[in-house]
Amino acid sequence: MSDAGAPVPEPAGADGMAAAILHTLFAQSAVGLHVLDTRLRVIRANVLSDTVPAERLAGQYFTDAYRLERPHEAERVLRGVLESGVAVRDLVVRGRLMDMPGPDRSLKVSVHRLDDARGRTLGLLATVVDVDEEEKARTRAACLTAVRTRVGRSLDVAATCEGLVESVVPVLADFAVVEVVDEVLRGSDPPMGPLGHDVPLRRAALRGLGADGHRDGLVGEMRRLPARTPYALAVSDLRPRLVRITARTPWLASAPASTRLIETIGAHSMIVVPLKLHGAVLGLVSLYRCRESEPFEENDLPLTLTAAAHVALSIDNARQYERDHVIASTVQRRLLPQHDSDHVAVETAHVLLPGRNSGSWFDTIGLSGARTALIVGAVEGPGLQTAITMGQLRTAIHALAGLDLEPDEVLARLADTADRLAGERAALPPGDRLLGQSLSATCMYAVHDPFAGTCTIARAGDATAGLVAPDGTTKPLDVPEGPRLFSGDSAPFATATFALDEGSVLAFFSGTPMPEGRQSAGLREAFADPGRSLQDLCDDVVYNLPADAHPGGAALLLARTGVVPPDRVAAWELLQDRTTPGMARTLVRDRLDGWHVDEETIEATELIVSELVTNAVRYGTPPLRLRLILDRTLTCEVHDSSPVSPHLRHARTVDEGGRGLFIVSQLATHWGTRYSTDGKTLWTEQELGPATDDS
């Protein structure tokens, strides 16, 4: 250790204040402090890391202690401060503390020279602050400003795309490609999403390391997006994909051209984001990070979405878009759920695979008793009429689900609806082009019951279902196959009920199953870790499908099952006694007070429960059970073993009774009767007001 770097002795008569200040700074400062000797070695430091103790830095050159990206430049700055005495403030460098894992980070360094009372140079004081996130945010903001400045200044599509790649390389990405639907480049209307695999895209702009020598990346070349890849998925559901690329990435084998590009530039991370506008697909932007660059992260997605939206609008303006979107594609997309809905005790995610047909669909519907209906289906055929038929079936099944029917009964009534639609088409005038187009559809309807821990399924046609246990074990679900919709077959539907463990994943697929011999190991590996996000599981299933599987398109719906939290449920066995309604009101008030439900809802619930229990005591059969479920709504259920259901009627002025269910219908948002093998359940749902204050 250099003598010049030795601690400075306290002036005679000092009261120790300076020593206390130094101790506090090095012990508690949120800034990294480093005292360097004249040889630029660390003699004292406070390191803000549990991984590297301060003692490890003693004797290390500062440029080695922080593994700086450009050590020679940093050393020149340090020696300049040592020689001139002029401090350097807020210098941003790249590096990381020695032995710290992970990529380099942005560090803000300030350096001051240390002189004693006689003006002798003792060394340097260097402060280090990790500003990596701030620098990334600043870089993203600068990139977005560049996009808004450079993109949209021309009414030429190619110039617009070139402005994007110039803005993002190398600030955000090491390599960028913009592909535009070929018809859009010629001025035609953009196709509505999802984009079919047969729609060609042409490279409109490309920039990055090695671009000049990569033949497959030349501007002007055209390709069709390889199926079961992030590129195809992004233009299918119009959502971006952030992907880590390794040698084991499953979709690389099905995209040889993209694989050659990725290998040539050494890409290890990419973001693909669709160029979309009002549901139409104009193209695709692919951004890559290569070799030593840090991989993309989730915080990069908002920037890419904003930039892509600006580019899409600029392309649309350049193309002078004047006509309405294609009605058939609009109807097809709008008839499907726009978002994955939240339901009690079940989490869902989906992927819609585009193909020749326009009628693949999926749905999730909340039912009484915290149950959830899970549906996939497909109407065969392309075009607007297929999408309309799919929408008619989806609307019908929503109405049927509200009747609390068993899955086989739902499909039986849906088949009746399909037969009526087929009859209407058969009655069209002889010259109508729809007259000769036959209809065929499949549907699978499942009901998950979190209290029973079961899923009951019925199917019309060859839709398939599978179960992934929490430990990753997969098995197909053997559901009796009923007749396809529109077939005219009057054969009955059957159900199958399966017991589920909490955390199981149900998989429903509207397409036909593949032969067992074609089930790849990669497809089984997609579910090896079922605890990952459902959307990741959906994507991995698609990546591992054979390239020629399901050319007509299909819908995949995943559902992870759970339970209703015990503290959100209350249940009681009640006596068949005239005092029971009063007791039920007391139980309900106590429970709702404990849940901090507002007073107005409590009073309404007391009245609802009183009427339902009174009706069950008078006309029902023991045993009598009362259950409350608290979720986004408040559910009240009264069960008895009598199969006879009460009827709502408007009592006359002179009547002494008959108003019970009418009162219930006025107080509840929804109400109904659910039948089972051991009786019936009258249930109500109420919207919840603001919770009461605990105080």
Q: Which residues pair with 687 in a beta bridge?
A: 633
Closest residue by Cα to residue 449 from 499, 415, 398: 499
**Measured CA distances, 500 to 388, 534, 561 (Å):** 35, 17, 8
The count of domains in the chain is 4
Judge contact between 335 and 361, C-beta under 8 A. yes
DSSP structure class, residue 70: S
Provide the pLDDT for residue 16. 62
Compute the average pLDDT of residues 136-157.
83
599 and 460 together in one domain: no
* Radius of gyration (C-alpha) of the chain in whole angstroms: 34
Of all residues in the chain, what percent are helix, strand and coil, respectively (each to 5)?
35, 30, 40
Judge contact between 389 and 379, C-beta under 8 A. yes
DSSP structure class, residue 425: H
- Could you read off the pLDDT of 399-454 as tens digits, one per residue? 999 888 999 999 999 999 999 998 888 888 877 777 767 788 999 999 999 999 99
523 and 570 together in one domain: no
**263 part of a folded domain:** yes
**187 part of a folded domain:** yes
37 and 97 together in one domain: yes
**Measured CA distances, 492 to 457, 480, 484, 489, 684 (Å):** 14, 11, 11, 9, 31
Q: What is the CATH number of the domain that holds 90?
A: 3.30.450.20
**Measured CA distances, 248 to 252, 522, 523, 543 (Å):** 8, 10, 13, 12
More confident residue, 665 or 4: 665
Q: What is the pTM of this model?
A: 0.61
Task: Please state the length of the chain.
Answer: 695
206 and 256 together in one domain: yes
> Which two three-digit tokens encode residue 376?
């996939």
What whole-number distance in Å separates Cα of residue 639 and Cα of residue 545? Answer: 46
Provide the pLDDT for residue 604. 92
**Measured CA distances, 120 to 97, 113, 213 (Å):** 30, 10, 58
Domain of 532, in residue numbers: 335-561
Confidence of residue 325 (pLDDT cuts 50, 70, 90): very low
What whole-number distance in Å separates Cα of residue 220 and Cα of residue 366? Answer: 49
Closest residue by Cα to residue 235 from 200, 260, 269: 200
Q: Mean pLDDT for the chain?
A: 81
Q: Which of 318, 349, 380 is the last residue of a domain?
A: 318
Q: What is the CATH number of the domain that holds 633?
A: 3.30.565.10
Provide the pLDDT for residue 494. 95
- Could you read off the pLDDT of 275-313 as tens digits, one per residue? 998 888 999 999 999 988 888 988 889 999 999 999 988
**329 part of a folded domain:** no
**117 part of a folded domain:** yes
pLDDT higher than 50, residue 13: no
Q: Which of 318, 347, 368 is the last residue of a domain?
A: 318
Closest residue by Cα to residue 562 from 345, 365, 347, 367: 345
483: how many CB neighbours lie within 10 A of its CB?
Answer: 16
168 and 247 together in one domain: yes
Q: In this structure, are strands 496-499 and 454-460 parallel, antiparallel, or unpaired?
A: antiparallel
108 and 152 together in one domain: no
Provide the pLDDT for residue 64. 76
Helix locations, 371-459, DSSP H: 384-401, 407-426
**326 part of a folded domain:** no
Closest residue by Cα to residue 179 from 205, 212, 215, 198: 205
Q: Identify the residue whose tokens are 């990435």.
A: 249
Provide the pLDDT for residue 321. 34
Confidence of residue 112 (pLDDT cuts 50, 70, 90): confident
Helix locations, 227-363, DSSP H: 230-237, 256-265, 301-318, 327-334
Provide the pLDDT for residue 660. 67
397 and 533 together in one domain: yes
Q: What is the CATH number of the domain that holds 536?
A: 3.60.40.10
What whole-number distance in Å separates Cα of residue 69 and Cα of residue 96? Answer: 9
> Which two three-digit tokens encode residue 568?
């959100």
Judge contact between 225 and 284, C-beta under 8 A. yes
What whole-number distance in Å separates Cα of residue 563 and Cα of residue 482? Answer: 30
**173 part of a folded domain:** yes
Across the beta sheet with 624-630, what order do the strands follow? 569-574, 624-630, 633-640, 679-687, 670-676
593 and 549 together in one domain: no
Confidence of residue 211 (pLDDT cuts 50, 70, 90): low
- Could you read off the pLDDT of 334-374 as tens digits, one per residue? 666 766 666 778 999 888 877 667 688 889 999 988 899 99
- Could you read off the pLDDT of 489-539 as tens digits, one per residue? 889 999 999 999 998 999 999 876 644 544 455 556 777 777 788 888 888
Q: What is the CATH number of the domain that holds 172?
A: 3.30.450.40
Q: In this structure, are strands 454-460 and 481-482 parallel, antiparallel, or unpaired?
A: parallel
What whole-number distance in Å separates Cα of residue 431 and Cα of residue 383? Answer: 19
- Could you read off the pLDDT of 46-72 as tens digits, one per residue? 765 555 666 677 777 887 777 777 888
**239 part of a folded domain:** yes
175 and 313 together in one domain: yes
255 and 347 together in one domain: no
Q: Which of 290, 318, 346 is the last residue of a domain?
A: 318
CA angle 608, 613, 619 (to 5 degrees): 130
